[in-house]
Amino acid sequence: MSISRRIFLRSATMVAISAAAHSKLTSVAFGQRSGGGRQSAVTGFRVPDESLSDPLTYFTQSTFSAHLNSKFRLRQGTSGGAVVTLVEVKDLAPSAHKVRAHVGSRECFSLVFSGGKQLPQDTYTIEHGALGTFKLLLVPTGKQSGVAYLEAIVNRLYS
């Protein structure tokens, strides 16, 4: 079978264009911009610089477990906020046999806070004497005996 030079050059050009487009689109598909951010030792992935300055990036389940039953101040916008207590840190990581070997390690846990009044779902600025200030999405999970509960889920995948 004989291939003309024209067909060979057209095919080779299409392969080169496809390869170049694939490498460019792969980074876009994973939400990465060329030149932006840097490799994080914590997550193992390329992370925007702004995220690396957030203390929550470095907090683990054991960080919060060490502050169980301590008070956290919640601020929502310019309001005075509320004071809640961290009452539970639950491990939600999937069991080892459910996680595929190529996925890497995971950390998944929930933080349960109790407070006096029912607060809406929102991203709150959290202040704590030892942990500092960070933002966290809190979701109301109900009331028991007049005490309102809020929960946050932290789900991380490390390479």
Low-confidence ranges of the chain (pLDDT < 50): 34, 101-102
Q: How far is CA 73 from CA 79, 83, 107, in A?
A: 12, 4, 25
Locate 25 and state its tokens: 């689109």
Please count the CA atoms within 13 angstroms of the CA of 26 that sit on its side-chain side. 6
- The pLDDT of residue 40 is 53
- Give the integer Cα–Cα distance in Å for 145 and 130: 30
Q: By the 8 A CB rule, do 105 and 158 touch?
A: yes
Is the model's pTM score more than 0.85?
Answer: no
- The pLDDT of residue 53 is 72
Residue 72 forms beta bridges with which residues? 84
